[in-house]
Structure 1
Amino acid sequence: YGIFSLISSANEECLFLNVYIPINNKTSQNKKAILMWIHGGSGQIGTGNLFDGTILAALGDIIVVTFNFRLNLFGFLSSGDERLLGNIGLYDQSMVLDWIYENSEALGGDIERITVGGHSAGAPHAYYLAISPFNQGRIRRLILQSGSPFNIWSHIQANQAMERFDVVADDNQCGMMDGFDEKLNCLRETNYHFIAEYEHHTYTSAYHTNVVLHGDYMNKFQLGLNSTDTLADTEMLIGSNDDEVDSYILKAIEILHQKVMKMTRQ
């Protein structure tokens, strides 16, 4: 697929999926295995459109599904408690799995052979999808590339989520509001394009939003204690991608160049 793009077009109307089906599927009586692929990007950037499943579907004789899900503040902003649970991006991924189940017969797919895979942040997201109580028993195989659910960058604790919410509110002129509900309403009324521009500048920040270990979709118990039993019948392939850091090096060079030019002008 080449270098992973850190820059992609963004839109609030993002919930689309792409389905790649072998041509012979119309005449074949055999149901095809299904691969659901989750893109990376730290849960902040990216799109399913970066991955063309045409060749994989044709040569592997499988059905490939790539998709978008809500990212950054729109997908993972949270208070760390019931007021704003967060993990909306993970719920979007569950909806894709629901869609695959509901439409597998029309697609010629075999729901007993569903593999969910992902790279970078998509890898832990695939794992979270498998151990969530909403999806247990649905996923036959997992592919985790260059990412683990136990990496420190793959999730945050509930108290960290509230800290990051406060930073986001302050940075978007909502911090002066009294009370959490007022701050949240202020953020909801903020122009989408302003929020999107803010997200672009927080991608490399320690305060960007992330999966929160809280709530009914994902919590500490599921990740730390129960995942082994939940995945006892799930086959898993773990590896890493070559030269994945290249895209970040290019972005770092761009940022460094901008800072040097700014210092030169000053």
Structure 2
Amino acid sequence: MGQMSFYSADALPRAISDLEGVLCAGGTMSFFGRGAAARLTLVLGPPPPPPPDEEDEPAPAPAVVPDEPPPAAPEPPPPAPQRVWEDGIDELPDDDLPARDEGAPRHDEPAPPPEEPDPAPTAVVVDPALEWRAQALCCAFRGRGVPADVERLPDGRPVVRSAFRADLVPLAQGWHTPEGEKRLVAPLDLDGPRLRLWVLAAGRQSGRAYTLGLDPQAPGTHEPLLTACQRAGLGATLVDDPDEPVIRIVGQRRQRRLAELVGGRPRSLFDGVWPG
């Protein structure tokens, strides 16, 4: 067994700065008031695809009906008998009088619109991998003295959110400009504990490679994080996909290096998440 790295998560004490690994994966910070406290939030998983638009569906082709001769016009009915009164006013027979319906609505009172049926509830799909990540991250937050809760978006995605805390302000200031734009203010020292939180939030096996998910809403952080991974000896490459950008690590030696840095496996582990 090789010697444990000095930068491994198992060799370093836990610290609030480890939560920078969550910010690598897509976490965001928000300030409270005038910046006296800050909160860390991570939405797990990409948004679901929009449902298909019914208007975009092609209309069915009209059925082909063979030509038929037009129907013969009906013969007009014989004129109704009329009786002439002495003053010259015609009297209509009883059959031509309109029927009276006491329950029919009056012309000056519009009929109530038909009731629309309630829309069917949206089906929420729960991803077990995301549920595992949410619980593992909550444990990692609590292990660093930062309580966190798991909430849920209407589409079913879990959200890990801490409380507003004064000790999270330096973390927010290191990852956000005064205007609120997310970026790395200073170069990141990517050690084992930070990588461990990054793996918990967005790491997975992808074929022969291992990938670390990035924040698609903060493209300015991608190149600095790639540089940090390369300085950590991971020999990574950047796949800058607009929807799912990732840091890609290929090769057994580099993946063993990552597994050494992130430390021992959690007791409960979801398949395809942990490196090595």
Report the TM-score, using the length of structure 1 for normalisation. 0.23
The structure, 1 or 2, with the larger RCO (C-alpha pairs under 8 Å, 6+ apart) is 2
Structure number with greater Rg is: 2
Report the TM-score, using the length of structure 2 for normalisation. 0.23
More helix by share: 1
